[in-house]
Structure 1
Amino acid sequence: METEGVRIGVLDVGSNTAQLVVADIGNGVPLPVHAVKEPVRLAEVVGRDGALGPDAIDRLAVAVGAAVAKARRWEVRELFAYATAVVRDAPNRDAALAQIEARTGVRLGTLSGTEEAELTFLAARRWMGWRAGPLLLLDIGGGSAEIAYGRDLAPSFAVSLPIGAARITRERLRQDPPGSGKVEKVRRYLRRELGEVASRMRWDAPRTAVATSRTFQQLAQLCGASPLRHGPFVPRVLRRDELARQIGRLGALTADKRARLPGISAPRARQSLAGALVAHTMLDMFGLDEVTICPWALREGILLQRVESADSWADRALTMPPAVVRRIGTSPNGQPRR
């Protein structure tokens, strides 16, 4: 597949937003030309069991339809559209995806948690460069958290755990504010979930630890890092000791008051405490005093994969216009990927 002169798009549907990134490929480098977000805020309407009810499906269909319309206006020729853990793990996922496809013409794909970790690792490696040495990646999403480690472009191990900020909030921190007893129970739960990975990291100590995702970016700003509006090239770190101090602050406030804090956006205020607990437990158990905030993550990893492995991309991409030539999330014989 030719890479030069192709305009491609990546539509990332998460628990808070559906984000479309449009990029041109020239000389093997993806150059972003446009980005747009459509709110979905699924955490507000997903059932306690994670099921996608009518309100959730409606929000997804509206956001996906709007994003695809914008992709067409920006003359996107290839679109990779996927949903992350909040949709992937829903018990009624297939029925929900079918309804969204019927309304938008797009069948959202679902990456596995391991695939998410591997692609995000690729983006972090490319951003940090080879001088970073052995690299540990941490990523906190709404439904899951991804961890990867390696010395090459691909990680030597990559895992996804069901400890995303929205999931922890929905399942374990429903009271607002939750109280110190609930917070300590969540800490113990997170330590159990992260125990096996932490044991492995004692044998494979990284030279560089990086964190991606909006959760980490907002927590870094809460702890004193430069705001995102100052651009991606400003160095940012998140320090464990400062995060520990902020957890007490977050735990004492209701969601509406957290939204007034530096870096904490209103849509993510409810889950900000859970995100902070996950992040701090990771740093504590992995023996990290700080992590570097990397502005590239899963979407950039997908764009880089398109540049570096065009054949792999061809199995997943939609061609637009005039028609969808292969449904995202299906194998070449048309059967759903599991």
Structure 2
Amino acid sequence: MKAVRIHEFGGVEVLQLEEIEHPVPQADEILIKVYASGVNPVDWVIREGGNDFLKPILKLPLTLGWDAAGIVETVGAAVTTFKKGDEVYGVPNFPGNGSYAEFVAAKANQFALKPKNISFNEAAGVPLAAMVAWTGNFELGKLKIGQRIFIRGASGGVGSFAVQFAKAKGAYVIASASTSNIEFLQQLGADEVIDYKTQAFEDLLRDIDVVFDASPLRDEGERLKNVQVLKDGGVLVSVNIDFPFSDEVKAALDAKHATGELVGGKGTFVAAEYLKEIANLIDEGNVKVIISKIFPLEQVAEAHRESESWHVRGKLIIEVRKEQ
């Protein structure tokens, strides 16, 4: 089968399209015929060698890609949740061998039945970003109906899901983005949108219940501004697990009796449970999957270059095979 693998860390030149053996599922795994894989910033972070959090657990050679949508080909002896022919989506083996491949074997509990009303390409844009957004909003942020959440980096893959999930659950959503993305975020349901190029959110906001920072910025001053707008007892959630909270930020949080959380910092995602609920929201029309561009497997380097620009609205997709 074809797969995009790396044998060393580096730039896009280390991405190699190869012929490798089909994976064989273990007893608790399913073998998936992959139709599409999403592209996430973590893909090229790992391609470059990872960060302090990931480096100790990366092993080469490695097949990249941790968003998969496809059809179950075979099931392991202990699997009772799926059968051959089921259409599924999920996060296979992070950060092990992933879904830039024609087939992937992964634990069944990392997958759920894909939303019925969307294509494989759209479904592949959901799992990892959506679970980060879900975990940030609800598991760590404890967001409740009627509360106010401020989402930074709201037009990207994680942020656009965070906006929609928060709105679907009855929160008041304030988002920040560049001028060109204001209307886009309003269409996703944001109640207010702050243009970070012309407006200083720290001068406009106070007493926010949850700040969800999905921005790629790793900046101490920006973190302190996030804390500044929190209410007493609020929650700051950041997606930048490789940028721990400093003593100064911790002190600012303590002064507000607030909590700071890093998505991914407390074990693994409850993949199947979250993916089922997310699929229901998509099928009910409460959440849209925003696709920016679709690339064939052979153009994975171009997809990585696009992702590295940090100017992607929604998700980039690798189409492994055409949907019939």
TM-score (norm 2): 0.31
More strand by share: 2
Quick check: which one's helix share is greater?
1
Instruction: Give me the TM-score of the superposition, normalised by structure 1.
Output: 0.30
